[in-house]
Amino acid sequence: MEEGKGGDAMRNAYYIAKRELGAYFSSPIAYVVTAVYLAVVGGLSGFILYYTREATMRYVLAHPVTVLFLVLVTQVVTMRLLAEEQRSGTLEPLLTSPVRDWEVVVGKFAASLCLLLAMILLTAYIPIVLVRLGRPDIGPILAGYLGYALMGAALLSIGVFASSVTQSQIVAAVVGIGIVLLLWLSSGLTEVVGDTLKGIVEYLPIFGHYSDMLRGVIDTKDIIYYLSVTMLFLFLSTRVLESRRWK
């Protein structure tokens, strides 16, 4: 019986994700965001390769422009997920249907994650070019992409949460970017807090767990961090929807 319920839950999340993916590609947003992202990353890669003459992806994936665009892209593709449902009044019927709150959140997150992974996959031509031009170390490239995807998933979950707390897409994007900035700037608190909290504060910065992967070092603490951030904000999004259900 429990297995049947679990299967129904995954099926519900799948159909919600499928609907959201259809919504992405039936509007210009997916094409515009993908085109701009590929143009920026591709142009930056060519520029870096020309001046460094090194067959590596580390400079590209670590560049502030690449990281900034990841933040912007994740917030743009998630800002409408729940905010638009609330503004248009379609969230209430969705919540009163035989679909759990977490299925709605997971389905919408999964759709945004599929879109992001597709965009990242389209940049695979860059390491292929590097292989043709030189002898890059494949390990750091794969580790860098893994870290980039994990960080992207965490940023998407933050965007889903931001979209759940407001009816405005613009406000959702601003809130999401604000949360990312707080997690980034939290490293500055290490000099303020005591020794007891110092270890926790040092663990918080969202970009700090990405640097080791760019060097080809895959540490379980970095993977656990990004998965924990993702699960936390998806959980918070679910609780926000639950609170709306009982209003």
Q: Which among 35, 26, 71, 88 is positioned nearest to 210, based on CA atoms?
A: 71
How many distinct helices (H) and strands (E) make up the chain? 13, 0
pLDDT of 3 reads 46
Give the chain's radius of gyration (CA, Å).
Answer: 19
pLDDT of 199 reads 61
pLDDT of 99 reads 74
pLDDT of 241 reads 85
The pLDDT averaged over each successive group of 10 residues in the chain (247 residues) is 56 86 85 89 85 77 88 91 76 66 89 93 87 79 91 95 91 93 73 60 76 84 92 93 70
Element (H, E) at 220: helix 220-245
Tokens of 11: 């099926």
Collect all residues with Cβ–Cβ distance below 8 Å to 154 and sequence separation of at least 6.
206, 226, 229, 230, 233
